[in-house]
Structure 1
Amino acid sequence: MTTARRPRRLTTAIAAIAAAGLIATLAACSSGDADASPKGSDATAQAPELRLGYFANLTHAVALVGVDDGTFQKDLGATKLTTQIFNAGPEAVEALFGGAIDAAFVGPNPAINAFSKSDGKAIRIVSGATSGGAQLVVRDGIDTAADLKGTTLATPQLGNTQDVALRAWLSDQGLKTSLTGGDSDVDIAPQDNSQTLDLFKAGKLDGAWLPEPWASRLVIDGGAHVLVDEKDLWPDGDFVTTHLIVSTEFLDKYPATVKELIEAEYQTADWISKNSDAAKTAANTALDKLSGKSLSAEVLDRAWGNLRITLDPIASSLQTSADHGVAAGVSDKTDLHGIYDLSLLNEVLKDNGQTAVSDAGLGQDK
């Protein structure tokens, strides 16, 4: 993998092209297959196959553990589970819109963009997965926001949740960024997380806003330090990092299969909560299988301690994430009413003796 630094204009031009491509893909869905979603389908119908996307990140620990140990396939029964790994949410959303997957674990902003650009037709958030586990980590010599002027920072992908969080935070600090190569105080270079680590270690990046374990890898393996822990920006430190989205067409046609997926998620999350050390090891084993490299004990311990596994999607934080996307220039202002359908999640919670969770008034009209 190359460690050469992209010229500033090239980086921002690539970002602009990526943004245009993503918006075009999302917009195409608004008048496409989403309108063909079957209504009134058999509530017991089983999908022959469920194609699930997730990331090789610890913020996707439920998927990492549940897929690898067979819990997801077991609870899906006769439905064949196939999986695909992505680097960030916009990439996974494009795959969902292109018909390559049926469901995905993603962050809030890609889900918001998918909902917005498809006029509320393409996807539903059906469950939470993780809170926390995202930080802005930087090189020595950067100790305040003012020190970031003239620097280059990385994020996993243009328009992904960490990219939006960074742009919104920089704006709050009075620092300009650009999507199109215009005048800016801080250059943002969206790229693959492994490339970010390599470039940071080579001294060709000044920092990055990343999910775990990548934030911890830059700290432990690259000598970075934390400038911003995202949880410090939220009330009680609670915000959605990862939730589960499903295509509306698949949800309408196969609600029983989606419920089985959520049940598998619940059983995995429950096991993780009761077996933290074993779960941490299991997640690391899954990462090793997916990436060919496990995390060191020091990185694993640090990263794992920054996460909270929860099926509550923390819906109360979603509007703020949407507002950040608008402020960052990567999202249009949109009415989020209808983005959640937590009915199946709350059935699973009730079946397991747990309390229902709230959609914060952004759920489906019944």
Structure 2
Amino acid sequence: MTPRFLRAAALAATAVLVTTGLSACGNDEAEGGATSEAATLRLGYFPNITHAPALVGVKNNLFADALGAGTKLETKTFNAGPAAIEALFSGAIDATYIGPNPAINGWAQSKGAALKIIAGTTSGGAALVVKPGITSVADLKGKKIATPQLGNTQDVALRHYLKEQGLNADQQGGGDVSILPQENATALQAFAQGAIDGAWVPEPHVSRLVSESGGKVLLDEKTLWPNGQFVTTHLIVSQDFLKKHPATVTKLLQGHIAAVDLVTTDKAAGQKAANEQIAALTGKPLKDDILAASFANLTFTVDPVSSSLFASAKHAEEVGLLKPVDLKGIYELGPLNSLLKAAGKPEVSAEGAA
């Protein structure tokens, strides 16, 4: 299935959706003063392999083609979720690919007014990698383990897992296990130098720790989730932009579906495009073996795996990194499901939202 065919199919689906009133967004357009389409769509994403559909969508012009000549695509890259959320809050971007915990935090901070999750992107691809001498959870006691950032998705996962195993870790790096939040590049170097004993990280850092520094996977996070599925990346949009420009959001989703289809049906082309975009953004493409290993650990899907989002929020609450928050309404999957239905694809749900 070629990208051209995918784009054509998505365009046809969009035509059906626009004709039928944009599904769940129809009332916003009628009552909320929505304009026809936005002159510009400002899209955020990360130069990470977990954002492969975004990388491919930009590299192969899938978003630009879907938006058409009437809407200019502007992109901005981020290295951390909080920065992307702040950009969305300030109006510097209209939509962004992002991890689950930053989206949860953004929803909580804005009291449910700033954003909506409109599609899934990536599932899986995170693990606890340790020194070969660590063979059990009990061996983690007294060890130093890195995570990407305090309160980020992998940090919450590690803290909750340790708590479930009867081990404590405080936010200052103390306790049975010393958790040391740091940038992934720093963690890679620290692990190679022996300054830390392991790290709970996403791909491609899992594969790099194993391949380049002799680490071993003590725990693949997918073993903790039903069917091995949990949200790693999803697509969110500003509620204000969604209300004003529902047709543009639908076209963004059209490009998103085409990108996910490409990376799942033509893996070689998807890997190549994603790595070329990473190289263009960072100057450092992933090595072929790391790229292949990373893709093998990731599932790219428009399903937001919503049940895992609600569970992750509870986990963050349980480890003291999030105050109780009502996430009902955080998803707006109507436009996505209208496109999926028009294309003859299975629709997705916001399971656990009630």
Shared fold by TM > 0.5?
yes
Asked if 1:128 is matched to 2:120, the reply is yes
Q: Which residue of structure 2 aligns with residue 91 of structure 1?
A: 83
Deviations 1:268-326 (A, max 9, x none): 11122221112112211111111211111211111110011100101122211111111
1:157 shift after superposition: 1.7
How far 1:144 sits from its partner (Å)?
1.3
Q: CA deviation at 1:39?
A: 8.6
Task: Determine if the alignment matches structure 1 residue 297 to structure 2 residue 297.
Answer: no
Does the aligned pair in 1 maintain the 2:29–2:246 contact within 8 Å? no
- Aligned position for 2:4: none
- Of 170, 187, 198 in structure 1, the residue corresponding to residue 162 of structure 2 is 170
CA contact (8 A) 1:52 1:82 kept: yes
- Report 1 or 2 for greater relative contact order, CA contacts < 8 Å, sequence distance ≥ 6: 2
Match of 1:80 in 2: 72
The offset of 1:358, in angstroms, is: 0.8
1:153 is aligned, of 136, 145, 148, to 145
85-94 or 239-248, which deviates more: 85-94
- Check the 8 A contact 1:76/1:260 in 2, yes or no: yes
Superposition deviation, residue 192 in structure 1: 1.9
Are 2:324 and 1:333 equivalent residues in the alignment? Answer: yes
**In 2, distance between residues paired with 1:69 and 1:106?**
20
Give the match for residue 14 of structure 2.
Answer: none
Q: Which amino acid aligns with 1:358?
A: S
TM normalised by structure 2 equals 0.87
Structure 2 residue corresponding to 1:310, chosen from 295, 301, 317: 301
Contact persistence 2:262–2:269 (CA under 8 A): no
- 1:280 and 2:256 equivalent? no
Aligned counterpart in structure 2 of residue 108 of structure 1, from 71, 96, 100: 100
- Tell me the CA shift for residue 236 of structure 1: 1.0
Compared with structure 1, are the counterparts of its residues 87 and 189 closer, same or farther at alpha carbon in structure 2 (3 Å cutoff)? Answer: farther
Alpha-carbon offset, residue 41 of structure 1: 3.6
Note the 1:1-366 alignment, pairs <5 A.
40-41=31-32, 45-77=36-68, 78-179=70-171, 181=172, 183-360=174-351, 362=353
Distance 2:112 2:295 in 1: 34
Contact 2:47 2:281 survives alignment (8 Å): yes
- Whether contact under 8 Å (1:54, 1:63) holds in the other structure is yes
Q: Deviations over 1:306-365 (max 9, x none)?
A: 0111001011222111111111221111121101000111111122121211111528xx
Give the C-alpha shift of residue 93 in structure 1: 1.3
Cα deviation digits, residues 160-216 of structure 1 (max 9, x gap):
11111111111111121122x274222222222212212211221211111111111
Secondary structure of the corresponding residue to residue 323 of structure 1:
helix
Distance of aligned partners of 1:203 and 1:263 in 2 relative to their CA distance in 1, 3 Å threshold: same
d(CA) in 1 for partners of 2:33 and 2:58?
27
1:34 aligns to what? none
- Alpha-carbon RMSD: 1.8
CA deviation digits over 1:130-150, x for unaligned, max 9? 111111111222111121122
Secondary structure of 2:176's counterpart equals: coil
How many residues end up aligned between the 2 structures? 326
CA distance in 1: counterparts of 2:158 and 2:352, whole angstroms: 27
Q: Which runs of 5+ in 2 are unaligned?
A: 1-27
**How far apart, in 2, do the equivalents of 1:59 and 1:177 lie?**
27
**Tell me, what secondary structure is at the counterpart of 1:221?**
helix
Letter in 2 for 1:338: G
Secondary structure at the counterpart of residue 83 of structure 2: helix
> CA shift at 1:116, angstroms?
1.6
Cα drift, residue 241 of structure 1 = 1.1
Q: Give me the whole-angstrom Cα distance separating, in 1, the residues matched to 2:265 and 2:66.
A: 19
Task: Confirm or deny: 8 A CA contact 1:88 1:156 kept in the other structure.
Answer: no
**SS state at 2:185 partner:** helix
8 Å contact 1:87–1:193 — kept in the other structure?
no
Q: Note the alpha carbon deviations across 1:82-120, whole angstroms, 9 max, x for none.
A: 222222322321222232222111121111111122211
Q: Quick one: which amino acid aligns to residue 88 of structure 1?
A: A
Aligned mates of 2:45, 2:269 — CA distance in 1: 21
Q: CA deviation at 1:246?
A: 0.9
- The percent identity for this pair of structures is 52
Q: Secondary structure at the match of 2:170?
A: coil
Q: Distance in 1 between matches of 2:95 and 2:339?
A: 18
Read off the aligned partner of 1:138 and give its amino acid letter. V
CA distance in 2, matches of 1:39, 1:201: 58
TM-score after normalising by structure 1: 0.85
CA gap 1:39/1:98 in 2 versus in 1, 3 angstroms: farther
The one-letter code of the counterpart of 2:249 is: V
Which residue identity lines up with residue 177 of structure 2 in the other structure?
A: V
SS across alignment from 2:213: coil
Cα deviations by residue, 1:236-258 (Å, 9 ceiling, x for unpaired): 10111111111111111111111
